[in-house]
Amino acid sequence: IGVIIGVLFGMYFYWYLCECIRDSADGGIRAPETMGSTPGLGELFAQSYKAFICFAFFVLPVLLYLTYTRRTDAIFWALTAFWIFFFPMGLLAVVMFDSLAGLNPVVIVGSIFSAFLPYIGLIALLTALIISIRLLVFLSTLLFSVGGIYTIIIWIVIYGSGVIDFYMMMVIAHLLGGFYYKYQERLNWEV
């Protein structure tokens, strides 16, 4: 039963992340209220499925290459750069179109070129955010390793529970939605 609850929580979380993107794309500046629009199981599954397929579409080449070659050579880093560069626009397109048609390379590449410099800024911001959070976690690990048992327990509760990762994903969702809100004329998606 624990697995079922975990799967349902995960599906709800990914549905909520997509709602955060949509709400920010409509100009929202706070986390969306979803009390009146609780999704059904079918909607949870559909949105989670689309988000998972989008993630797999960009990450799977990197994982497959690393699994089969066990090397981090130039091809690995090129695939990683592909993932980092195209995934945010792909996720934004899938969420805004509410369809896997958002993974169309013509849509993704055309959208990136139509708002190229702002998109580069978004990628730089997301990369800096993720690296800084990971660096802070690493530094806190070093700091707490010399601390008492209470600091170690607090660190395990905060980081081990994934609170930092959940928060970071919500911030990224808001930034993606805000990007769409500001540059929707350039993207010209008509959604």
pLDDT in tens, 92-123: 999 999 999 999 999 999 999 999 999 999 99
22-55, pLDDT tens digit by residue?
999 999 998 888 777 778 899 999 999 999 999 9
Q: What is the mean pLDDT of residues 153-158?
A: 65
Give start and end residues of each alpha helix (H) in the chain: 2-25, 41-69, 74-97, 105-114, 116-145, 149-160, 163-187
Q: 84: which 2 tokens?
A: 């980092």
pLDDT for position 22: 96
Percent above pLDDT 90 for the chain: 69
Which is nearest to 46 in space by CA: 95, 111, 113? 95
- Between 97 and 146, the higher pLDDT residue: 97
Residue numbers of the domain that contains 29? 2-187
> Looking at this protein, which amino acid is placed at residue 190?
E
Is the pLDDT confidence value at 133 over 90? no
Kindly report the number of other CB atoms within 10 A of residue 178's CB atom: 17
The torsion of the CA quartet 78, 132, 18, 38, rounded to 10 degrees, works out to 150
Q: How many domains does the chain have?
A: 1
pLDDT for position 143: 67
Under 8 Å CB-to-CB from 116, ≥6 apart: which residues?
A: none
pLDDT for position 172: 96
Q: What is the mean pLDDT of residues 171-180?
A: 97
pLDDT for position 158: 64
Give start and end residues of each alpha helix (H) in 26-103: 41-69, 74-97
Alpha-carbon distance 112 to 187, whole Å? 8
